[in-house]
């Protein structure tokens, strides 16, 4: 199971922090799913919303086609990145997918799922299949010559969220970006600074767990601020 901080979404779109990714208590799952779908349509790079959507669909026994559509969206937005996240969610969804769908998606763990692939074209519940391709989404940029420009967009977004008093959104943006590409020292520095300011050690620990699920493991400089020498 992928362990991370979690939210339960109520019909009024209030969010409440929970431990784990079980979404163990959702009073109105259909309302929660509609919220997450709107969130994904407006912010396709919000990886956590993709994971929460898939988990809710699995938890509440939704139709296999709905689950397949959600998985396709996750693979599309990750492009050729996020192999660890793809594999984790694919294994969770395996019992609800057809053997054909599972094996097709398994072929694209470390490469981009083409928009013209039959599984995408026929994924009726996909939210992103009709969007134009974006192979260089701002939150998954990896090859940039100047380290100062790495994650520049997400840093700008995070500063804007903080200016508006939306610290949770700033954390979500920074965490998603860092999980996609750990070689972003400025993003990591800002994220750890917010952790220190908010004293959110539990969130730091949950991010550490997510890093440990990826092939590269936990970055060597990923340390709780108080533990740095």
The answer to whether the CB of 79 falls within 8 A of the CB of 87 is no
Domain assignment present for 21: yes
Indicate whether 69 and 118 sit together in one domain.
yes
The answer to whether the CB of 220 falls within 8 A of the CB of 208 is no
The answer to whether the CB of 177 falls within 8 A of the CB of 154 is yes
Domain assignment present for 1: no
Indicate whether 145 and 102 sit together in one domain.
no
Indicate whether 37 and 81 sit together in one domain.
yes
Indicate whether 78 and 184 sit together in one domain.
no
Indicate whether 119 and 13 sit together in one domain.
yes
Last residue within a domain, chosen from 132, 159, 185: 132
Domain count, the chain: 2
Read off the pLDDT of residues 21-67 as tens digits, 9 standing for 90 and up: 434 445 677 877 888 888 888 888 888 889 989 998 998 877 889 99
Q: What is the arithmetic mean of pLDDT over 156-165? A: 81
Last residue within a domain, chosen from 132, 152, 178: 132
Residue with tokens 């929970």: 18
Helices (H), the chain: 29-42, 47-59, 64-78, 83-93, 99-106, 118-121, 152-163, 167-180, 185-198, 201-212
Last residue within a domain, chosen from 87, 113, 132: 132
Indicate whether 17 and 126 sit together in one domain.
yes
Indicate whether 22 and 88 sit together in one domain.
yes
Indicate whether 127 and 15 sit together in one domain.
yes
Domain that holds residue 194: 140-227
Helices (H), 94-184: 99-106, 118-121, 152-163, 167-180
Indicate whether 95 and 174 sit together in one domain.
no
The DSSP H or E segment spanning 181 is none
Nearest residue to 93 via CA among 185, 5, 2: 2
Indicate whether 85 and 126 sit together in one domain.
yes
Nearest residue to 93 via CA among 70, 116, 109, 111: 70
Indicate whether 83 and 121 sit together in one domain.
yes
The reply to whether the predicted model has a pTM over 0.95 is no
Read off the pLDDT of residues 93-146 as tens digits, 9 standing for 90 and up: 999 999 999 999 999 999 999 988 999 988 888 999 865 544 434 433 333 334
Per-residue tokens: 30: 């259909």
């Amino acid at each position: 199971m992928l362990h991370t901080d979690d939210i339960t979404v109520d019909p009024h779109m209030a969010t409440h922090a929970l431990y784990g990714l079980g979404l163990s208590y959702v009073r109105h799952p259909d309302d929660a799913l509609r919220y997450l779908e709107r969130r994904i349509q407006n912010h396709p790079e919000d990886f956590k919303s993709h994971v929460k959507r898939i988990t809710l669909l699995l938890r509440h026994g939704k139709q296999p086609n709905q689950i397949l559509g959600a998985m396709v969206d996750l693979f599309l937005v990750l492009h050729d990145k996020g192999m660890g996240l793809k594999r984790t969610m694919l294994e969770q969804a395996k019992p609800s997918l057809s053997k054909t769908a599972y094996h097709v998606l398994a072929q694209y763990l470390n490469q981009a799922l083409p928009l013209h692939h039959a599984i995408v074209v026929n994924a009726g519940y996909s939210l992103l299949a009709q969007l134009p391709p974006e192979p260089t989404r701002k939150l998954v940029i990896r090859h940039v010559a100047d380290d100062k420009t790495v994650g520049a967009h997400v840093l700008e977004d995070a500063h804007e969220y903080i200016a508006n008093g939306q610290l949770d959104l700033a954390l979500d943006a920074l965490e998603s970006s860092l999980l996609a590409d750990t070689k972003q020292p400025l993003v990591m520095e800002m994220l750890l600074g917010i952790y220190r300011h908010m004293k959110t050690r539990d969130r730091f620990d949950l991010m550490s767990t997510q890093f440990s699920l990826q092939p590269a493991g936990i970055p060597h400089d990923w340390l709780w601020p108080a533990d740095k020498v």
